[in-house]
C-alpha cells in the first residue's frame, strides 16, 4: 500500500493520502497514510459510520466523489487535523466483487487541486488499490498465523532437537535461558543477550534466527568492538562511490545485507558513541542513509544484540545512550557462565569431542574418568570458548586417543603457558588426594554417573553403554538416575533401547 501511494504522488498533487479498511461493526480504520500532512494522530484512527452517514452513503454507492467547497459536509478527519475551509477533498470506496472493503481519501489545503479528470482516474485506480488492500490484509493474517504456529512449535521443541544441537546442557539455569530463547524466537522483537565472554551468545543468536519467521533470510553478524570509529558508519550502513578517499565503488553495509533476516550486533556496548544516534534512528524508522548518499535506504531487519558489560552502568556513565538501550533491550536473556551450570561442562566437552572424532584417526577420542573429574572441578573463567580450546588441545596431545588429566593439565590454556590445574587448591591435578573435596554420597554418585554417561556418549544400554562401564544392570542404573534427578534427558538420546 505504501508503494501504491508513493506512485500515486507522482501523478496527483496531494498533501494527505489515507487508506482505511472496513473493520465490520460499522467502523473504518486507518491502515496507511502518506504526504506532508500525515500525522501520528491518525495511526489506528477509527471512524464510526453510524456518526458519519455521508461516508456510509459513499461506501454504499461504490463511486468516487469530489467534494466541492459549497458542499455541506463534515471533514473526514475533523477533530484530528485542522484543515482550512474549502480545501480540496476526494474520496473513493475500495470495492471488490461489489463489496466495499475500505476507503481512499485524498486531501490538499489549497482549493481546486482535484479535477473531474483526476476523479475519473481515481475511480480506475481505486479498483487496483482494493485488490492490493485485500492482498495486504491476507498477507498480514498469514504472517500472524505463521507467527502463532512458530510460537507453538518452539514451545513444544525438546531441548535435544536439532535446532539446539550447539546449545548442550541440562542445568536449571541453562534450561531457563533456552525457554526464553524459544519464547522470543517467533516474535520479531529486538533481543539483548547478556553474559560473560565465551558463554555462547552468538550461537544463541543463531538459534533465535533459525526458530524465527526470518529463518530463510540472512544472518549477518558484526563485532562492534572491532569497528574503527572512522569506518563504523560505512560498515553498518554502506557508502556510495566516491563518498570518501578509497571508496571506488558502491558498498552495501551490514544493515542492507541483513534485509529480510537478522542482524547480530555483538559487543554492542563497545559501539562508538558517534554511531549510536544513527543506529537508533535506523532501528526506529527502518531506513538510513549510506555514507555520501542522498536517498534513504529502507530495510526490514530484526536486531539481536549481545554484550558482556553492564549496559545500565554504561548508561549511567554516559558512554551508552539510554534511548538506544531501551530500544535494543526489549527482551533481555542472560546466558549463565559455566561455573553456574554444574555438570553441563561434561556434556559440552562431549559435544566438542564428538565433532573432533570426525577427524581422520580420531574416531576413538574419549575422556578418562580422571579427566572428566578435572573438567568438572575447573572453574572455567573463559567459559565455553576456553573449554573448547582446552578439549581440542588435549585431543591433539592425546593423539586422538583417551584424554587424561595430564593432557588437560598440560598448561594454562587460557593464557597459553605452563601452569597448574585451576581446579586444585594445592597446585596438583585433581586426581591428587590433596585436591579431594568432601561431598555427600548422593552428589558423588550423581557426578560419577554423569561422567560415565558423558564418556559413553549418553548411552545406557549395550557393551559400550554406561551401565556396562559401571558394572550395573541397565534397569538399576536407570533407577539410580531417576532417584538422583538425572532423568532421561540427562542420559542422551540413546539412553533407552528402541
pLDDT at 155: 65
**Average pLDDT score over residue span 291-303:** 89
Confidence of residue 248 (pLDDT cuts 50, 70, 90): confident
pLDDT at 439: 63
CB of 204 within 8 A of CB of 143?
Answer: no
Residue in the block written with cell 496527483: 12
Confidence of residue 223 (pLDDT cuts 50, 70, 90): very high
pLDDT at 428: 43
User: How much of the chain, in percent, has pLDDT values that exceed 90?
Assistant: 32
The string of pLDDT tens digits covering residues 200-220 is: 999 999 999 998 989 899 999
**In degrees rounded to 5, what are phi and psi of residue 171?**
-70, 155
> Which of 316-325, 424-433, 440-449 tops mean pLDDT?
316-325
Confidence of residue 424 (pLDDT cuts 50, 70, 90): very low
pLDDT at 157: 66
pLDDT at 420: 37
**Average pLDDT score over residue span 422-449:** 58
CB of 378 within 8 A of CB of 423?
Answer: yes
**DSSP string across 242-264:** TSSTT--S-EE-HHHHTTTSEEE
**Average pLDDT score over residue span 405-425:** 57
pLDDT at 431: 45
pLDDT at 433: 47
Alpha carbon separation from 215 to 185, 206, 252 (Å, rounded): 10, 9, 21
Q: What is the largest CA-CA distance in the chain?
A: 101
Does residue 334 carry a pLDDT above 90?
yes
Does residue 285 carry a pLDDT above 90?
no
pLDDT at 154: 65
pLDDT at 476: 85
Does residue 419 carry a pLDDT above 70?
no
The three grid cell numbers given for residue 294, joined into one nine-digit string: 542522498
Higher model confidence: residue 496 or residue 448?
A: 448
Does residue 81 carry a pLDDT above 70?
yes
The three grid cell numbers given for residue 437, joined into one nine-digit string: 573435596
**Average pLDDT score over residue span 392-396:** 91
Does residue 438 carry a pLDDT above 60?
no
The string of pLDDT tens digits covering residues 47-62 is: 888 888 888 888 888 8
Does residue 261 carry a pLDDT above 90?
yes
Nearest to 58 by CA among 16, 119, 13, 113: 119
Does residue 152 carry a pLDDT above 90?
no
pLDDT at 496: 45
Average pLDDT, the chain: 84
Does residue 192 carry a pLDDT above 50?
yes
**Average pLDDT score over residue span 116-135:** 86
Does residue 281 carry a pLDDT above 60?
yes
Does residue 421 carry a pLDDT above 60?
no
pLDDT at 498: 35
Confidence of residue 159 (pLDDT cuts 50, 70, 90): low
CB of 107 within 8 A of CB of 69?
Answer: no
pLDDT at 127: 85
Does residue 241 carry a pLDDT above 60?
yes
Q: From the CB of residue 419, how many other CB atoms can be counted at a distance below 10 Å? A: 14
Does residue 437 carry a pLDDT above 60?
no
Does residue 425 carry a pLDDT above 90?
no
pLDDT at 411: 59
pLDDT at 461: 85
**Average pLDDT score over residue span 262-288:** 92
pLDDT at 202: 94
Higher model confidence: residue 469 or residue 64?
A: 64
pLDDT at 199: 93
**Distance of alpha carbon 8 from alpha carbon 10, whole angstroms:** 5
**DSSP string across 73-123:** ---TTTTTS-PPTT-EEEEEEEEETTEEEEEEEEEESSTT-S-HHHHHHHH
User: How much of the chain, in percent, has pLDDT values that exceed 70?
Assistant: 90
pLDDT at 361: 87
The string of pLDDT tens digits covering residues 31-43 is: 889 998 988 888 8
Confidence of residue 413 (pLDDT cuts 50, 70, 90): very low
Does residue 228 carry a pLDDT above 50?
yes
> Which of 114-118, 152-156, 474-478 tops mean pLDDT?
114-118
Angle at 158 between CA 305 and CA 364, to 5 degrees: 90
Amino acid at each position: 500500500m505504501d508503494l501504491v501511494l508513493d506512485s500515486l504522488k507522482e501523478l496527483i498533487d496531494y498533501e494527505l493520502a489515507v487508506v482505511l479498511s472496513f473493520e465490520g461493526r460499522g467502523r473504518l480504520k486507518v491502515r496507511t497514510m502518506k504526504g506532508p500532512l500525515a500525522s501520528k494522530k491518525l495511526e489506528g484512527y477509527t471512524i464510526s459510520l453510524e456518526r458519519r452517514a455521508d461516508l456510509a452513503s459513499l461506501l454504499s454507492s461504490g463511486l468516487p466523489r469530489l467534494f466541492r467547497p459549497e458542499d455541506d459536509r463534515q471533514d473526514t478527519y475533523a477533530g484530528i487535523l485542522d484543515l482550512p475551509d474549502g480545501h480540496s477533498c476526494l474520496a473513493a470506496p475500495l470495492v471488490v466483487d461489489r463489496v466495499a472493503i475500505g476507503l481512499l481519501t485524498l486531501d490538499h489545503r489549497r482549493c481546486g487541486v482535484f479535477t473531474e479528470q483526476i476523479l475519473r482516474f481515481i475511480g480506475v485506480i481505486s479498483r487496483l488499490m482494493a485488490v492490493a488492500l485485500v492482498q495486504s490484509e491476507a498477507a498480514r493474517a498469514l504472517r500472524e498465523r505463521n507467527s502463532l504456529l512458530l510460537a507453538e512449535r518452539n514451545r513444544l521443541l525438546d531441548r535435544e532437537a536439532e535446532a539446539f544441537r550447539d546449545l548442550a546442557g541440562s542445568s536449571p539455569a541453562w534450561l531457563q535461558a533456552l525457554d526464553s530463547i524459544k519464547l522470543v524466537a517467533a516474535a520479531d522483537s529486538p533481543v539483548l543477550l547478556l553474559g560473560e565472554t565465551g558463554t555462547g551468545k552468538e550461537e544463541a543468536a543463531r538459534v533465535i534466527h533459525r526458530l524465527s519467521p526470518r529463518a530463510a533470510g540472512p544472518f549477518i553478524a558484526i563485532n562492534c568492538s572491532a569497528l574503527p570509529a572512522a569506518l563504523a558508519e560505512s560498515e553498518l550502513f554502506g557508502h556510495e562511490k566516491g563518498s570518501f578517499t578509497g571508496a571506488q565503488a558502491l558498498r552495501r553495509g551490514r544493515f542492507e545485507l541483513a534485509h529480510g533476516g537478522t542482524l547480530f550486533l555483538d559487543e554492542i556496548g563497545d559501539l562508538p558513541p558517534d554511531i549510536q544516534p544513527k543506529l537508533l534512528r535506523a532501528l526506529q524508522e527502518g531506513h538510513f542513509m549510506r555514507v555520501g548518499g542522498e536517498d534513504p535506504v529502507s530495510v526490514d531487519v530484526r536486531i539481536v544484540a549481545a554484550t558482556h558489560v553492564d549496559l545500565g552502568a554504561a548508561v549511567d556513565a554516559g558512554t551508552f545512550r539510554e534511548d538506544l538501550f531501551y530500544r535494543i533491550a526489549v527482551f533481555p536473556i542472560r546466558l549463565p557462565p559455566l561455573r553456574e551450570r554444574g555438570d553441563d561442562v561434561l556434556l559440552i566437552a562431549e559435544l566438542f569431542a564428538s565433532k573432533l572424532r570426525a577427524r581422520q584417526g580420531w574416531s576413538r577420542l574419549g575422556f578418562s574418568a580422571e579427566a572428566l573429574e578435572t573438567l568438572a572441578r575447573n572453574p572455567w573463567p573463559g567459559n565455553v570458548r576456553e573449554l573448547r580450546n582446552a578439549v581440542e588441545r588435549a585431543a591433539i596431545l592425546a593423539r586422538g586417543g583417551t584424554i587424561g588429566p595430564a593432557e588437560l593439565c598440560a598448561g594454562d590454556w587460557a593464557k597459553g603457558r605452563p601452569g597448574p590445574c585451576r581446579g586444585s587448591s594445592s597446585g596438583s591435578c585433581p586426581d591428587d588426594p590433596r585436591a579431594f573435596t568432601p561431598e555427600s554420597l548422593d552428589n558423588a554418585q550423581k557426578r560419577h554417573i554423569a561422567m560415565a554417561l558423558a564418556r559413553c556418549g549418553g548411552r545406557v544400554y549395550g557393551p559400550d553403554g554406561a551401565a556396562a562401564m559401571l558394572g550395573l544392570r541397565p534397569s538399576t542404573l536407570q533407577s539410580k538416575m531417576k532417584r538422583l534427578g538425572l532423568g532421561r534427558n540427562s542420559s542422551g538420546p540413546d539412553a533407552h533401547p528402541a
